[in-house]
Amino acid sequence: MRLAAIRPFARYLAAYIPETEVPPAGLLPGPVSRRAVPYLYSREEITALTDAAGAIRSRLRAATYRTVIGLLAVTGMRAGEAIRLDRSDADLQAGLLTIRESKFGKSRQLPLHASSVSALAGYAALRDQHHPRPAAPAFFISLTGTRLIYKNVHYTFHRLTQAAGIAPRSPRCRPRIHDLRHSFAVATLLSWYQDGGDVAARLPLLSAWLGHADPGTTYWYLTGTPELLALAGQRLEDHLRERP
């Protein structure tokens, strides 16, 4: 475990001091990391997922999953947070979602784009048409008017990935609903690099948006995609070129 902790630092140091010895992996037996590799969805894959959800036979169920997937994709909120949303948490007039008492007891508000507000309003109208007096105050409801069940949402999402033709990239990189959150974080960072902004200064904003206590937690979501690494590398080259 100590070697595993020092190995990344040794790799970093070796870039500046070539004679640095990097402890090889597998030198001693130790715990094996079981962290799943995030599946980063493209825009086309997200569209395929919402199209697959729209093909569900029940009109209400199709609208529910189509809207849930779209909301997770454009906000990066946790699936559990979407399930726990009550009607009173969605202020569609102001375009605000209030996420109450989420992980670590943190609450936050997310301003929504006009297109997201329109999608939520359309779903709410259909939902009220089917269940004018639902069994729960939940914003997203089941066919019986109750709040969605977390396990069922995961199962349905898995079926939708199959219907959309989204296959695992490796045994450790399988499409999960939580990976919509990873995809949002990486896409946000990518857009900041592309517009030339100060990414380090903006990172606390992303942390607050995702409901993290500090940017250190957010780094868990920032997978190094080829596009992201290329932009970061180009920025470093530009910086070094400007130095005397």
- Which one of 66, 78, 127, 182 is the catalytic residue? 78
Catalytic residue at 181? yes
Catalytic residue at 41? no
Please give the sequence-ordered ranges of beta strands (E in DSSP) within 63-208, or none if there are none. Answer: 90-91, 96-99, 108-111
Phi-psi region of 105 (alpha: psi -120 to 50; beta: other; left: phi over 0): left
- Which one of 66, 84, 127, 178 is the catalytic residue? 178
Catalytic residue at 106? no
Alpha-carbon span 146 to 142, nearest angstrom:
5
- Which one of 61, 103, 154, 202 is the catalytic residue? 103
Catalytic residue at 178? yes
Given a contact cutoff of 8 angstroms between Cβ atoms, the answer to whether 218 and 209 are in contact is no
Of the candidates 191, 184, 175, 150, the residue with the CA atom closest to the CA atom of residue 76:
184
Place of tokens 């970093």: 12
- Which one of 39, 41, 65, 221 is the catalytic residue? 221
- Which one of 66, 147, 182, 212 is the catalytic residue? 212
- Which one of 66, 147, 181, 182 is the catalytic residue? 181
Q: What residues are annotated to the active site?
A: 78, 103, 178, 181, 212, 221
